[in-house]
Structure 1
């Protein structure tokens, strides 16, 4: 059986290839358990100058975590009454991996072709070089499945251009390479025609000094102008709307409509989990005040465990990815029915294992 992550050492590079192309390289616990120790080995090995991570196939870098497997684990847990380790271990170990990437002591180069969503963002957002190219498509679509933008989303999203972190978190909007470059989600754009040559040039890099400088030198002739963005929203309107930090006031402005942004948001957010909308907004508000990604990931682990125990995550995955009826039955059914106490309960300690550093 082919390994779900392939590792290679060549010319000073440690190369990790996500090897589930048929599944859009969706991240599994097995893959997490392969990646984290290998990164630790490469971090300590003086022969390794830098790390490169990419996805097999031409459709996706990584389309996210394997939430369907987690859904089935929850259903079995509820049927049998026996706790499933997957619902705890997946998020615990994934977030440890996210922190290791964000703090990696050497250049970490993510080649982001195709779909890069959810867990795939967690594997790349902390990279020193986030190179986008052919068919790049970013999204944090978790509010549509009753979850929240995790894998460090509470750290990265509030630090984007004004208001766009909240916009992307709540809507799950898909953005392309042009938007990613404008928002700071990506560091470099390389055109499709130059992608293979860029990749080969990186692998042949002559390590003459500081590895990060060497990588930048190799990338320089391949850097191109990104295409126009696909987000049809006015940045000034996004900044003005999401300057409102009180969710009730923000929601009232959205429901009142009267301009293209709020009219679009009113329609888009109507299909999202009301609980997820409120929790995600609060997550980003708290994350903006936190001092490190580790602090954010501790918070997000608590959110993950309360989400696993709740209703909307299972219902969202069922409706969108399992039965695919696209008709989730959210509980509570409206934003107005989501109490402050319910939101606060998601941020409470789990009472069991906590993610500490």
Structure 2
């Protein structure tokens, strides 16, 4: 075990180091200690801050990664699984950009560089960095297949293939964009195999920690998708306002139309229902639904309240209601409202 493995616990070499240490997972969680505390902390930080928190000493940091995956598996909530994978990927992205591009690289025994990262995810043959192809080294090209896979969960028109100058089956990207694609490769790897099959003794020992994480998940209300029949009366004010604008014939800005379609997809609407509810062009709606990669938009999520405010699509304060004060995402508003409506029905 060394600092490189602790800093990047998703590496194949890090997993091998844990295997070579012959650590008994049941004994590790039974004894508690720094690795278990840090493992639970990784998951709680994923919920609360979107990263995995501050690192600890090498052994605890490395062993905390498998502990965290076990905790996520025991909670067994797709929202947590997604949030945790994104948090690990976000933290890794910050670290490898700093380690490779920073002016004061971190001193690691084996070192980390772009070539090693590409090889780790079997992308070495798929990516040409600029320096190797005789162009600006801030420019790279990526084979179209890996590009489409890794970019499928990224928001923004700039990631669409039609926005790129495809040349001979290769997609040009800036160097910083390549790091974003590598972040998505980390997310893929973290998601792989989750949820794990956890032995009963381990599950029983971690029960208090799992309950604590589940409570944290409830407190922070990560965005929920609702797959039951649509309940328009439960739509949040921002969505009602967007629907009213669309049905009045106003041509919504692309970001506003995306927010509206993404919300309805997350609430369980199919393209036909979305077009009927909003009055938007059915072909445009169908296209946007296709862009919402993953079931109910899980990989291309509808914007949060903060993003809606930044877009200018949040309603004025006087038009918000008390639910708006309790939630941080339109889908959470909708899910809460649907539950309250169902409880009030005889």
Normalising by the smaller structure, the TM-score range is: under 0.3
Q: More helix by proportion, 1 or 2?
A: 2
TM-score (structure 1 length as normaliser): 0.27
TM-score (structure 2 length as normaliser): 0.27
Rg larger for: 2
Q: More strand by proportion, 1 or 2?
A: 1
